[in-house]
Amino acid sequence: MNSPKVLGIAGWSGAGKTTLLTRLIPVLVQGGQRIATIKHAHHEFDVDTPGKDSWAHRHAGASEVLVSSARRWVLMHELRNDAEPRLEELLQRLSPCDLVLVEGFKHERHPKLEVYRVAVGKPPLYPADPQVLAVATDGGLARPHSFQVDLNDTAAVAACVLQCARPLPEVLLALQRA
């Protein structure tokens, strides 16, 4: 499998990044793309249930817990007091795929599609971030971007994603320069 391409889906909280991804991923998969996602979470979060074995292993001090079944597997890595891994490190841990969509990490130097809604009441990211290659918006932009797409046209956004995504080695190089 060739090196995957990478594109961030960035924007302010409430702009609809996750909603867009849940509409976009099926369209891309139907088009033959094998998709991986990286989601930046704020604060502490949990993916296993208190009292379950994986939770007990992690809380007992295991630095990594891999849970496997006939339907899925998940690897949890506990940071304890270590620094949060950079996007560059996370991208290199993924299994082979065609396209990596990165939700969040809006301040990193990877190529991005900005999800922008005027109703959120925040300024757009693209004027200050040259890594924003396109903007998906539900309304007019006060300062037009050279590549903008209707946020509600999932097929157009999918085409935009495929056009703007960049090869992983190129993205890793940009992140290393940061």
Are 7 and 167 spatial neighbours (Cβ–Cβ below 8 Å)?
A: no
Q: What token pair was written down for 134? A: 């396109």
Torsion region of 124: left, alpha or beta (phi above 0 gives left; psi -120 to 50 gives alpha): beta
Name the percent of the chain lying above pLDDT 90.
62
Q: With a threshold of 0.85, does the pTM exceed it?
A: yes
Q: What CATH architecture does domain 5-45+84-177 belong to?
A: 3-Layer(aba) Sandwich (3.40)
Report the C-alpha gap between 166 and 169 in whole angstroms. Answer: 9
Tokens of 37: 């996602």
pLDDT band at 43, cuts 50/70/90? low
DSSP letter (8 states) at residue 65? E
Task: Give the span between the Cα atoms of 161 and 35, in whole angstroms.
Answer: 12
One-character DSSP codes across 151-177: TT-HHHHHHHHHHH-EEHHHHHHHHHH
pLDDT digits (tens, 9 = 90+) for 9-31: 999 999 999 999 999 999 999 99
Give tens-digit pLDDT for 50-100. Answer: 888 888 888 888 888 888 889 988 888 888 888 888 999 999 999 999 999
At residue 33, the 3 state secondary structure works out as coil
Give the lowest-confidence range in 26-40, 54-68, 126-140.
Answer: 54-68
